[in-house]
Amino acid sequence: MFLNNQITKLPNNQILTREFYDRDPRRVARDLLGKLLVRRTHGALVGGRIVEAEAYLGESDAAAHAAAGQTLRNAVLFGPPGHAYVYFIYGNYFCLNVSCMPEGKAGCVLFRALEPLCGLEQMAQARALAAVPQKKLRLLATGPGRLTQALGITRERDNGKDLTTTASDLVIVDDGFRPKHVLRTARIGITKNPEQMLRYVIDGNAFVSR
DNA sequence: TTATAGATTGCCT
DNA sequence: GGCAATCTATAAT
């Protein structure tokens, strides 16, 4: 069902604009569900549909990197909206966020899972998987660490990148898809401020983590 | 200068 | 279901 739904073209006019991200991260996270996150390198498209995302707020949110104020590491969060914030976690993985809110105000959305739609081979290769077994498609880009690995996202390569320009090789586009039902749950893996319902998932989608 | 916790994953029992 | 691996930012000595 996924393989015969592959994407071959990405019209530039469907790239989400800076205004889209210039809002409360909770609204942005909700609206990012169903959009496409795609890496385009020498003509090839690699990516899929966003099915899970988490909102991180500013100083009021103890779980957010911005909670302690601006540092060298989290500076992107305080910059203009629509830029990639990539950080290294647990000595092994990168996590991809997009900055929200106007310049000077922190806030972001963490991408947690994709439904793979294009470049499955490249993703499998990037994930060091020998093949793409139908039963294990979830292993390609479900989970924030797997997602970044599948798209080759690193801090050096992508941190601070503007995701709203046609020149960017990493973009988020609207192909018209609208999720039927969205669920809100607690965020995963955090210890501070765990009770807030800031994780957004497409209800019933098989590529949501857990 | 040293210690520790962390927005995870994969392998172990 | 439990836990080690591994790097970095930040807190503690």
Q: Walk along chain A (210 residues) and give the pLDDT tens digit of each residue.
A: 344 457 777 776 799 999 999 999 999 999 999 999 999 988 899 999 999 999 999 989 999 999 989 998 999 999 999 999 999 999 999 999 999 999 999 999 999 999 999 999 999 999 987 776 666 789 999 999 999 999 999 999 999 999 999 999 999 999 999 999 999 999 999 999 999 999 999 999 999 998
User: How long is the CA A73 to C1' B3 vector, in angstroms?
Assistant: 20
Residue A162 has what DSSP assignment? Answer: B
User: How long is the CA A29 to C1' C10 vector, in angstroms?
Assistant: 28
> Is nucleic acid strand C under 7 Å from A71's C-beta?
yes
Closest alpha carbon to C1' of B9, residue = A145
**pTM of this prediction?**
0.94
Residue A190: nearest nucleotide (C-alpha to C1'): B7
> Is nucleic acid strand B under 7 Å from A146's C-beta?
yes
> Is nucleic acid strand C under 7 Å from A192's C-beta?
no
Question: Which nucleotides of chain C does any protein CB come within 7 A of?
Answer: 5-11
Residue A93: nearest nucleotide (C-alpha to C1'): B8
- C-alpha distances in Å from residue A93, one per residue of A16, A105, A178: 26, 26, 30
Q: Which residues 88-117 of chain A have a CB under 7 Å from nucleic chain C?
A: 88, 90-92
Q: Which among A194, A183, A195, A191 has a CA at the least distance from the CA of A52?
A: A183
Q: Supply A43's token pair.
A: 């003509």
Residue A143 has what DSSP assignment? Answer: S
Instruction: Tell me the pairing of strands A170-173 and A84-89.
Output: unpaired
Q: Which residues pair with A52 in a beta bridge?
A: A113, A201
Q: How far, in Å, CA of A31 to CA of A93, rounded?
A: 26
Closest alpha carbon to C1' of C10, residue = A68
Report which residue type is found at A7. Answer: I
User: How long is the CA A89 to C1' C5 vector, in angstroms?
Assistant: 12
Burial A83-104 (b: 16+ CB within 10 A, else e): bbbbbeeeeeebbbbbbbbeee
